[in-house]
């Protein structure tokens, strides 16, 4: 019997009841969310359950929604069951003032750098991470550059006197 989105949804609801919510299937991939202090329980259940077996963490990243008060940051896990070849997407939301989420490093060694990257760009504080420090940006950086309030360079700026890049100088 192959594993379908319907079965996964049912198994999760049996186990966690009201705690798992927001079931959707955008482009065929089952997507759901849970409260942030339940993230490890859900991941552990998905990992251990003899039927579900989501033991491969494909991807982990964050998304910033500045307009959703109290749920500004989303941490998104893409999980893959390699035996039945099913992918799911699992989200936890956290407020930006105290962005503490439990780390998944005990379950997946691969979460180590993925979480460091997420911390680096969004400032999600992964509680219990063995080495939570910046990975791609410089250590001295004091902001989280992929958050929406961090602006990209204004393309019409004129203060940069740099002919090589086509700004200012004799070109204008």
Q: Is 13 in the site for another protein (CB under 8 A)?
A: no
CA–CA–CA angle 123, 128, 132 (5° rounding): 45
Q: Is 135 in the site for another protein (CB under 8 A)?
A: yes
Q: Is 89 in the site for another protein (CB under 8 A)?
A: yes
Q: Is 146 in the site for another protein (CB under 8 A)?
A: yes
Output the DSSP codes for 103-157: --TTT-TTHHHHHHHHHHHH--EEET-TT---SSS-TT--S-TTSTTSPPPPTT-
CA–CA–CA angle 1, 59, 127 (5° rounding): 110
Q: Is 127 in the site for another protein (CB under 8 A)?
A: no
Q: Is 165 in the site for another protein (CB under 8 A)?
A: no
Q: Is 145 in the site for another protein (CB under 8 A)?
A: yes
Length of the chain counted residue by residue: 172
Number of residues that bind another protein (CB under 8 A): 34
Q: Is 70 in the site for another protein (CB under 8 A)?
A: no
Cβ contact 76:18 at 8 Å = no
List residues binding another protein (CB under 8 A).
26-27, 29, 31, 55-59, 61, 63-64, 76, 78, 82, 85, 87, 89, 108-110, 112-114, 117, 121, 134-137, 145-146, 150, 152
């Amino acid at each position: 019997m192959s594993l379908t989105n319907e079965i996964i949804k049912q198994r999760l609801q049996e186990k966690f009841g009201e705690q798992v919510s927001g079931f959707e299937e955008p482009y065929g991939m089952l997507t759901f969310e849970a409260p942030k202090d339940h993230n490890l329980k859900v991941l552990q259940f998905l990992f251990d359950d003899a039927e579900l077996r989501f033991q491969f963490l494909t991807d982990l990243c964050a998304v910033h929604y500045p307009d959703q008060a109290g749920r500004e940051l989303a941490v998104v896990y893409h999980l893959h069951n390699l035996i039945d070849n099913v992918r799911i997407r699992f989200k936890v939301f956290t407020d930006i003032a105290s962005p503490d989420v439990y780390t998944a490093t005990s379950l997946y060694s691969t979460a180590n750098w993925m979480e460091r990257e997420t911390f680096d760009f969004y400032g999600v504080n992964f509680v219990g991470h063995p080495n939570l420090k910046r990975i791609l940006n410089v250590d001295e950086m004091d902001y989280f550059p992929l958050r929406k309030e961090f602006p990209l360079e204004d393309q019409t700026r004129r203060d940069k006197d740099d002919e090589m890049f086509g700004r200012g100088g004799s070109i204008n």
